[in-house]
Structure 1
Amino acid sequence: MSLRTYEADLFEGFRGRLEAIAYRMLGSAGDAEDVVQETYLRWHAADRERIETPEAWLTKVLTNLCLNQLTSARVRRETYVGQWLPEPVLAGDRMLGPADTAEQRDSVSLAMLTLMERLSPNERAVYVLREAFGYAHREIAEILDLTESNCQQIHRRARQHLASGRPRAEVDAAAARKVVEEFLAAALSGDTEPLVRLLTDDAVGVADGGARVPARRSPVVGALGIARYLRGLFRPSAAKRALAGGEPVLYSAVVNGGPAVLVSIDERIAGVICLHTTTDGVVAVHLQVNPDKLERLTRRWAASGPHLPFSKMW
């Protein structure tokens, strides 16, 4: 069945929302784009005259594609080299979706996307659709072919798994720049004590190189351990510059709603350091250096320039 112009336009009107759902479900912008494209192909092939509510139909198709993807992703991540972290997304990217409420903003933070890996596929779907997009339990039940009471139970269970006692600190570009400025001043000082003061005692540091770039393969736990790890990363050396293939330049940015340091080499984003800040301090440092997960961010960063650098790294 051919796709008429207004039906193609109708799908494009939903594309941003579908991408945002898929990104929260999968933690990967690339995978999200793939399942949205597959949803489009199914929309193209469907008998659209029998579809009463296009948004509900598209959301159901997309969600089920994501559930299938999550199942296979779990198998792939069992053999993933080192730590797996979500793909970082720059502020302003429609992949982030709505950000009107604290729940919507928190659901797309790298810390929350990482925590959501603990959930079963159904728990993740219910949590995302309810918390980030405000679907009623009745609507979610129809999407997942479950009972409404079962959806409510799954939602409660998911919230319990993801419960955090410390509220996330709200940041805008100015606040993020201040956090990054303090972090870089501490990291570039060559001393651990300034970094320790910024981190909470139980802070966690995780790096994802995906076997493409050397990165620590186990989490670093505790303020002192993370401070020593970061001091080693920021300590200048000719060997590091040779391995990196250039001199890293540091920028401040907002990534997934939080403050972040972008590491640029020859106008390519080679690393992203995301800082998860709460009222108590920095509770998580996520370092993404897997080049496969930095392509989209690099394109969007280049398109939004020029940018004022903070300093050079080495």
Structure 2
Amino acid sequence: MDEHDFLASRFEEHRTHLRAVAYRMLGSLTEADDAVQESWLRLVRSEADDIDNLGGWLTTVVGRVCLDMLRSRRLRREDPLEARLPDPVVSQEDATDPEAQALIADSVGLALLVVLESLNPAERLAFVLHDMFGMPFDEIAPIVERTPAAARKLASRARRQVQGAAPTPDPDPATQRRVVDAFLSAARGGDFEALLSILDPDIVLRADSGTLLGGGMRILRGADAVAGQLATFHRMATTATTRPVLINGAAGLVNTIDGDLISIMSFTITGEKIAAIDILSDPGRLPQLDRTGPESR
């Protein structure tokens, strides 16, 4: 094995961890892969023999790359209508996918990623690296060009915004699936009262149809407003083929028509009620996320 192959082998040992870091930072699977690839390119251009802790070095590099990408993203998305849902991680309920599990470990649900989108880039980096991956503040500080004390304040400020903003999901998968099945039954039957009975009073529905069709992000708050979408839910449930899946480790649904993926629905179940529904129907993004084919069953 030559030096390049040996370095590539060592890098591959850290790839899954790096992708998990980048996914939490960026909320985009494609951008996460780009950040990981950039870390590899920087490693190749570095004096690798002088790196004592390769995992720590790569995590720092990925953190810097993601920070730059977040800042660039903010400059591009000056219009608030360009807000979008993070990429969901879709997996089959009876499948074991170690990489998918690593991406969503520690209950990184879609609702939490939505909250992380509200943080500024430095806050997000400090929170993700410290609270989710245990990196000490003296290692985070150089990445955000602050002192360790200032980095600690960034993470603390982010933590206050995150706590309570993202509902904590019920941990029991069977409970989650039972509530989602009840939602689907109410939708198919057009039963308003049954639907209303399983919605948390403060439910938030986020529907991202993308910009290709002039849609964008739509947000509804409150059980009455969400139950008022019963006709839309009924149309989906009766015209599409609906399959149960896991979305970021939680009970969800994928909806297809003639084999084509038309939407991904993520549910956050709290206290046996639906506290959040996130629907991605952006035709520009769905093909990249399609895990509904035979190879993923």
Give the TM bin, normalised by the shorter chain.
0.7 to 0.9
Segment of structure 1 superposing worse, 54-63 or 291-300: 291-300
User: 1:84-103 counterparts in 2 under 5 A?
Assistant: 84-91=84-91, 92=97, 94=99, 97=102
Aligned residue number for residue 210 of structure 2 = 210
Q: CA RMSD in A?
A: 2.6
Checking the alignment, whether the CA contact within 8 Å between 1:207 and 1:217 is kept in structure 2 is: yes
Deviation at 1:224, TM superposition (A): 1.2
Matches of 2:276 and 2:153, distance apart in 1: 29
Q: Does 1:192 align with 2:192?
A: yes
Q: Aligned runs of 1:1-314 on 2, under 5 Å?
A: 4-79=4-79, 81=81, 83-91=83-91, 92=97, 94=99, 97=102, 104-105=106-107, 108-164=108-164, 167-172=168-173, 174-213=174-213, 215=215, 217-229=217-229, 231-236=230-235, 248-279=240-271, 281-299=273-291, 302-305=294-297
Q: TM-score w.r.t. structure 2 length?
A: 0.88
Given that 1:275 and 1:282 are in contact with CA atoms closer than 8 Å, whether structure 2 keeps it comes out as: yes
Q: Distance in 2 between matches of 1:169 and 1:199?
A: 14
Is the partner of 2:11 in helix, strand or coil? Answer: helix
SS at match of 1:292: coil
Q: 1:164 to 1:95 in 2, by over 3 A?
A: same
Tell me by how many angstroms 1:300 deviates.
Answer: 6.6
- Cα deviation, 1:252-306, whole Å, max 9, x if unaligned, reads 111112221110223332211111111262111111011333334314754221x
Aligned residue identity for 1:97: A
- Structure 1 position 180, deviation (Å): 2.0
Assess if the C-alpha contact under 8 Å between 2:251 and 2:266 holds in 1: yes
Q: Which moved more, 1:75-84 or 1:176-185?
A: 75-84
TM, length-normalised to structure 1: 0.83
CA contact (8 A) 2:245 2:254 kept: yes
Distance 1:21 1:217, change over 3 A: closer
Cα shift readout 1:131-173 (whole Å, capped 9, x = no counterpart):
222223333235444322222211111110111185321143x
SS at match of 2:262: strand
SS in 2 for 1:181: helix
Which residue type is aligned with residue 258 of structure 1?
A
**In 1, Cα distance between the equivalents of 2:22 and 2:220?**
30
State the Cα distance separating 1:206 from its structure 2 match: 1.1
Q: Partners of 2:125 and 2:101 in 1: how far apart?
A: 16
Aligned residues: 290
SS of the residue aligned with 2:200? strand
Deviant stretches of 4+, over 4 Å: 80-83, 213-217
Contact 1:85 1:114 in 2 (8 A): yes
Unaligned runs of 5+ in 2: 92-96
2-side partners of 1:159 and 1:236: how far apart?
Answer: 39
Query: Once the two structures are aligned, what percentage of the paired residues are identical?
Result: 31
**In the superposition, relative to structure 1, how do residues 62 and 277 fare at CA in structure 2: closer, same or farther (>3 Å)?**
same
- What residue identity is the alignment partner of 1:275? F
Q: What secondary structure does 2:203 align onto?
A: strand
